[in-house]
């Protein structure tokens, strides 16, 4: 269960997220959609306690993320594939995260095998392709066997086989009763993956409903374009005087 | 997904900032982090081997030209012990490593992975600082206990230089303490500035501009300001003998450096908890 209650966040004079409230239920893959700059990544960062909201609060499993002593047991997240020291091997990266929670190295090897990284696990991440880094990010998210997963653009840079793998994995995790929130730009991918949609534009909630209700028979892309048509003028994101 | 027993640590319900539950696990994690990047081993090798090498050269040259060494220089060797040159050399790599330990996490984005695993910034900072300080202390002791026997062999007949001499033993211990505190000072600057180049510049400005140039302030005020600068005060703990002109005793001097470092670490901890990552 993920809850956002009246979340607002400003960066300088620019409001990235405004009065955003939604709940993500377990058992579904929930797609998190919005145009570039809509505030998807900011919302993810607020949910995970990386940034502090100016107003409102975010809870995961009933508690603010920062209150967890061992958060990886409850929530796993992949924010961006770049959150890794390039000089460290994939296995050591996962090991140092696992050790904070007292997880055995057996678990590290399990997620390495699960994400298909076994042959490169002892290589330095600096030499990884974007797709391999995405897999490493997903491996890190799965370390603590969490009930809640937040994945920001997980299929970026993956080959078709990788895309299929992520889709299957997310559906399986949801079928196991976990809460899965996944952001993406790729409408066709979302159309075949998500059960439920949360759409934001300019930091505000535009839609929160099952995918069938959202598309009403049209394609997801069409429905999305119509809904977000008013949120695409970038000039409006930035009040005068701020640096865009 | 496996349903095997994954968790050996304390109960999942543990929350909050306080308490030491799981802190040993954080230390182990930071230990893995610090040794799984190459820059650590490289900087420490340069620091220890370079420091010992430089001490050996300076001691050898000094011994060969002992007859022409001025009384003031002879006195300096007696005060500073055998690791004087090596210690001077070791300070900068130690500061660079201290900065890198924290700024490399920001530079690479690793900090976000770290904070997802350890949402309490203060606990993360404390564990990182503790592991780095232990490594820095050990490197400092390697340097000191490498330098003293060499100094003893080269200069032993001319200056009191022996590890069996309690003053020298104390000073050798002081080398590790000083380098650890100095490195932690740089670490705290790194945590405040969060950019490698900026933090290294800041450290150099603090030690060179404030530390060295403050002696240009005229009069007694200048003497006191200079003596209480972090590195100037801290390095006294590495001296085998207190000089009459020192305003602080070795342990007082070390205390002053520790105080500076503690203040900076506290500010870094507070800011880290407030700032967006």
Range scoring the smallest mean pLDDT among A69-73, B73-77, B98-102, B272-276: B73-77
The answer to whether residues A130 and A199 belong to one domain is no
Residue of A214 and B165 predicted with greater confidence: A214
The mean per-residue pLDDT over the stretch A21-45 comes to 93
ipTM score of the complex?
0.90
Domain that holds residue A41: 1-74+147-244
Residue A125 and residue A15 share a domain: no
Rg (CA), chain A: 18
Counted domains in chain A: 2
pTM: 0.90
**Chain A residue whose CA is closest to B18:** A69
> Is A70 in contact with B110 (Cβ distance < 8 A)?
no
CB A191 within 8 A of CB A169: no
pLDDT class of A232 with cuts at 50, 70, 90: low
Interface subset of A 172-191, CB within 8 angstroms of B:
173, 176
Nearest to A69 among B6, B16, B114 (CB): B16
Can you give the pLDDT at residue A244?
A: 42
How many whole angstroms separate alpha carbon B18 and alpha carbon B211?
36
The reported pLDDT for the residue numbered B220 is 86
In the block, tokens 């095997």 appear at B4
- Residue B15 in any domain: the answer is no
- Choose among A45, A67, A140: nearest Cβ to B113: A140
A75-78 β-sheet, strand order: A75-78, A148-152, A179-183, A29-33, A196-201, A204-210
Find the mean pLDDT for residues B222-243. 87
Write the pLDDT tens digit of every residue in B221-230.
Answer: 888 888 999 9
- Chain B within 8 Å of A215 (Cβ-Cβ)? no
Q: A99, B25: Cβ pair inside 8 Å? A: yes
Domain boundary among A106, A123, A145: A145
- Kindly tell me if the per-residue pLDDT of B47 is higher than 60: yes
Chain A residue whose CA is closest to B114 = A97
With respect to residue B20, please indicate whether it lies within any of the assigned structural domains: no
Pairwise CB contact (< 8 Å): B6 & A144: yes
pLDDT of B6 > 80? The answer is no
Q: Is residue B212 part of a domain?
A: yes
* pLDDT of residue B10 exceeding 80: no
Predicted pLDDT of residue B1: 44
Chain B interface includes A104 (CB < 8 A): yes
- If pLDDT is split at 50, 70 and 90, which confidence band does B11 have? very low
Q: Are residues A55 and A153 in the same domain?
A: yes
Which CATH number characterizes residue A167's domain?
3.40.50.300
Residue B22 within a domain: no
Say yes or no: A65 and A172 in one domain.
yes
Among the candidates A110, A145, A180, a domain finishes at A145
* Structural domain contains residue B2: no
**Span B151-201, pLDDT tens digits:** 888 887 777 666 667 888 888 899 999 999 999 999 999 999 999 999 999
Residues A1 and A116 in one domain: no
Asked if pLDDT for residue A184 goes beyond 70, the answer is yes
Q: How many separate domains does chain B show?
A: 1
Do A90 and A182 sit in the same domain of this protein? no
What is the rounded (10 degree) CA torsion for B116, B122, B124, B126? Answer: 180
* Chain B residues near residue A63 by CB distance under 8 angstroms: 15
Q: Which of A145, A175, A194 is the last residue of a domain?
A: A145
């Amino acid at each position: 269960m993920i809850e956002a209650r009246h979340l607002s966040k400003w960066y300088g004079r620019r409001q990235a997220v405004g009065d955003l409230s939604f709940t993500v239920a377990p058992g579904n893959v929930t797609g998190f959609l919005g145009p570039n700059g809509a505030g998807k990544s900011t919302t993810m960062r607020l949910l995970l306690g990386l940034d502090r909201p100016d107003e409102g609060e975010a809870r995961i499993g009933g508690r603010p993320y920062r209150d967890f002593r061992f958060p990886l047991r409850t929530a796993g997240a992949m924010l961006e594939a770049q959150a890794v020291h390039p000089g460290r091997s994939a296995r050591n990266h996962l090991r140092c995260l696992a050790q904070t929670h007292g997880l055995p190295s057996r678990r590290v090897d399990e997620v390495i095998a699960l994400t298909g990284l076994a042959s490169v696990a002892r290589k330095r991440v600096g030499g990884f392709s974007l797709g391999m880094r995405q897999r490493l990010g997903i491996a890190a998210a799965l370390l603590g066997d969490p009930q809640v997963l937040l994945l920001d653009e997980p299929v970026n840079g993956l080959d078709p086989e990788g895309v299929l793998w992520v889709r299957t994995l997310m559906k399986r995790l949801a079928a196991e009763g976990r809460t899965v929130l996944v952001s993406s730009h790729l409408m066709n991918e979302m159309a075949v993956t998500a059960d439920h949609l949360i759409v934001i534009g300019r930091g505000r909630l535009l839609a929160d409903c099952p995918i069938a209700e959202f598309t009403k028979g049209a394609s997801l892309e069409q429905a999305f374009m119509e809904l977000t048509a008013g949120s695409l003028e970038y000039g409006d994101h930035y009040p005068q005087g701020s640096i865009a | 997904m496996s349903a095997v027993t994954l968790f050996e640590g304390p109960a999942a319900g543990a929350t909050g900032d306080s308490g030491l539950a799981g802190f040993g696990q954080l230390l182990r994690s930071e230990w893995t982090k610090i040794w799984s990047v190459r820059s650590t081993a490289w900087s420490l090798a340069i620091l220890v081997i370079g420091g010992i090498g430089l001490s050996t050269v300076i001691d050898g040259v000094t011994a060969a030209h002992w007859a022409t060494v001025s009384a003031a220089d002879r006195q300096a060797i007696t005060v500073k012990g055998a690791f004087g040159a090596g210690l001077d050399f070791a300070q900068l790599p130690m500061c660079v490593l201290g900065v890198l330990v924290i700024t490399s996490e920001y530079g690479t984005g690793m900090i976000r992975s770290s904070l997802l695993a350890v949402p309490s910034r203060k606990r993360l900072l404390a564990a990182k600082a503790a592991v780095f300080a232990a490594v820095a202390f050990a490197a400092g002791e390697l340097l000191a206990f490498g330098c003293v026997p060499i100094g003893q062999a080269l200069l032993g007949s001319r200056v009191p230089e022996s590890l069996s001499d309690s003053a020298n033993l104390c000073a050798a211990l002081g080398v590790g303490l000083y380098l650890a505190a100095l490195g932690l000072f740089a670490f705290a600057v790194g945590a405040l500035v969060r950019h490698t180049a900026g933090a290294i510049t800041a450290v150099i400005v603090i030690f060179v501009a404030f530390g060295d140039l403050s002696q240009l302030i005229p009069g007694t005020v200048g003497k006191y300001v200079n003596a209480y600068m972090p590195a100037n005060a801290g390095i006294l703990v590495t001296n085998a003998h207190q000089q009459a002109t020192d305003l602080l005793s070795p342990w007082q001097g070390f205390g002053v450096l520790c105080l500076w470092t503690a203040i900076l670490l506290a500010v870094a901890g507070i800011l880290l908890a407030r700032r967006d990552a």
